[in-house]
Amino acid sequence: MNNYKLLIQYDGTEYAGWQYQDNAVTIQQKIFAAIKTLIGENVNLIGSGRTDAGVHALGQVANFATEKDIDVSKFQYSLNSILPKDISILKLEKTFESFHSRFDAKERIYLYLISKYKSPFYDRFSYFYHGRLECDRLNSIAKVFLGKHDFTSFCKKNSETENKVCTVFNIHWKETKGMIFFRIEADRFLHGMVRTVAGTLLDSFKNNLDETHIIKVLEQKNREAAGESVPAKGLFLFKVKY
């Protein structure tokens, strides 16, 4: 059995997320249909993780297996020719048979973009935040998230995932040229987690709350204790490490 690995970018604005859904258009559905068109068979297209509705990707990874021996260069070109303009296959390669894009991932990195001024060029891919922000202060508060924690307070209530413990390796805020970048790296993420963490940190800064507030929110294991999620349009799955 041949196993093929894809590196994917997409603008998630018009989609209901990565994961296939009934009565909704998703990224996985579009790529699956394109592959089927080219090889004439249904494949099990596995993504490294589920991005939510409206969330983008700079480095989503997926894989599928088939008995057919594919010319990867021609196949990548053909895939991109029939996929919509907001989905791109950056790389296609044959990988080892046991590779699993989700279970083999060691670390996932997300970026969240905040624009400090209104721009028609940034609107689709960033959150225009009206208030004052200081990255040094945000970084000081954010350090509480480093390490292993139960993130029940930071995932959606209807999450089907029983294990809500995640290990955060790095979390950082940085400002450059009118944009603020929030970067978080962890072994795994829960449904809605990144947007809720970012929103809670912004809320903490706005209301002059310190690190003890974040500690209390983590301890409560209650979504209502955390802040409001930031909009999906500023979030990118940046990279998956194996």
- For residues 41 and 43, what is the distance between their CA atoms, to the nearest angstrom? 6
Q: What are phi and psi of 131, to 5 degrees?
A: -85, 175
Check if 52 is active-site.
yes
Out of 52, 104, 203, 210, which one is annotated catalytic? 52
CA angle 52, 170, 112 (to 5 degrees): 35
Any idea which residue has 């997926």 for tokens?
A: 62
Mention every residue, 6+ apart, whose C-beta is less than 8 A from residue 218: 144, 149, 150, 151, 153
The residues annotated as belonging to the active site are 52
